[in-house]
Structure 1
């Protein structure tokens, strides 16, 4: 997912920074002009716009809190189309009210549906939309094709592609091993 977004942004002649549990190969970094950072805390001070593209788990829940947001460039934009609880709801509101953030955009809310008094409905400088992931016909066709491929592989006894795997044999595998950490 992250690589797909970076590839889409590369033609716009931006200085692209990223952080991920697994660093991309140097050939891809060079081709796309990417700068890798070991953590979100290392990355955000360098960015005018930060997009959140991460799963929600204990390491990411509340990641964009007052402390991390305070290290962002004053006037930066934060975009969250991942999971609402990765950004601390009230920290985002405070950052917009103080001018620390110039804007916040996203399509993920917590709780969802958001109550009528949710502070993101009235905070300044925001662009919030309903979360509509997967509702397009082309997305539904891709999900259906992927599900079919998984079932065909399972019943044929052939390996399931890594991008479809989260757990295999009780252990993180494929995309799951890439996205999540084993907690001891």
Structure 2
């Protein structure tokens, strides 16, 4: 366990422009170095900040790798991530240097579940295609065969990763008449399964062949990188829709594009990509793909709650206590 000691008025480096109220509060509480502007710090700026600060506040767009951590100054003892995912931080390297890493779990659960449910509805009902048709001026009015999609009621929803977000999606999906199937490393307690009316599939491949819609809610780590590869995507039946509002690297994008182009999948709803903000032009050309710009957690309330958690973690650490949201060994 990294040593904790009291650090009055810690020097805090914030890598991206956060909501004004969050940055103002940080400035009031700490010796805070803010980074303004629409983009984050460059690698050189990150290295310079890490050489001098006590606390680094990065976001998902900052790749805090082992080389950067190795070059950090001796003062850096806390990386207080603005967000729940920590796959962009070299956790083992941080632990080796005695640097605590914290995140902000729980505050974005409902927002991400809302966005996921929106995609689950949007793709089968062709909402993005319909919106573009109206804006183009080419719509000729209602017709019995116009813009036909598929209803989602009565379909089987497969949830890959049944943590906070997966369970929140399941609660929403039940209200739309979907049956709930899930694959998770560990089975949920029976009382939770009963509440969600969810069926556990210990074998992921078996679940993939039995569902109509797949939604992904597992963290991106060494175990989940490329988890939905070409072989697993091939197990999905041609009428299936794939939804991903988790992390882009979990899905093999080339295999997904091949399946969509070959009509071996009915469509996809994507809020994340492996190389974002760059998006494969083949995806952009597909009409049966609904795309949103990594906005699953983008609410005013969610961003403020995230900032409050970051501040709470820094304050607890600065007072010499273990931060409430310290990332433990299981994330590595």
Q: TM-score, normalised by structure 2?
A: 0.46
Deviation at 1:84, TM superposition (A): 1.2
Q: Which residue of the other structure, out of 162, 165, 169, is the alignment partner of 2:326?
A: 165
TM-superposed CA distance for 1:105, in Å, is 1.0
- Distance in 1 (alpha carbons) for counterparts of 2:326 and 2:304: 19
- The question of 1:58 aligning with 2:222 is answered yes
Find out whether 1:94 has 2:258 as its counterpart: yes
* CA spacing shift, 1:5–1:159, aligned 2, 3 Å: farther
Aligned match of 1:150: 313
- SS of 2:209's equivalent in the other structure is helix
For 2:290, the equivalent position in structure 1 comes to: 127
More helix, by proportion: 1
Find out whether 1:111 has 2:275 as its counterpart. yes
Show structure 1 runs of 5+ residues with no match: none
Secondary structure of the corresponding residue to residue 94 of structure 1: helix
Structure 2 stretches lacking a partner, 5+ long: 1-164
Aligned partner of 2:194 in structure 1 is 30
Instruction: Provide closer, same or farther for how the CA distance between residues 156 and 5 of structure 1 changes in structure 2, counting only shifts above 3 A.
Output: farther
Q: What's the CA shift string for 1:121-161, capped at 9, x where partnerless?
A: 11341111211244321111210222233334445666655
Q: How many residues align?
A: 168
Q: Which structure 2 residues correspond to residues 3-18 of structure 1 after superposition, within 5 A?
A: 3-18=167-182
* Number of the residue aligned with 2:232: 68
Compute the displacement of 1:70 (Å).
Answer: 1.3
Displacement of 1:7 after TM fit? 2.2
CA contact under 8 A between 1:75 and 1:102: conserved in structure 2? yes
Q: Which has the higher contact order (CA 8 A, sep 6+)?
A: 2
Task: Tell me the secondary structure at the aligned position of residue 9 of structure 1.
Answer: helix
Structure 1 stretches of 4+ with a deviation exceeding 6 A read none
Q: Is the 8 A contact 2:184 2:202 kept in 1?
A: yes
Q: What TM-score do the two structures reach when normalised by structure 1?
A: 0.80
Say if 1:118 and 1:110 are closer, same or farther in 2 by CA, change over 3 A. farther
SS in 2 for 1:104: strand
CA contact (8 A) 1:96 1:124 kept: no
The one of 172, 179, 185 equivalent to 1:21 is 185
Pair 1:93–1:141, CA change in 2 (3 A): same
Q: Radius of gyration: which is bigger?
A: 2
Distance in 1 (alpha carbons) for counterparts of 2:321 and 2:166: 27
Q: Distance in 2 between matches of 1:48 and 1:135?
A: 28
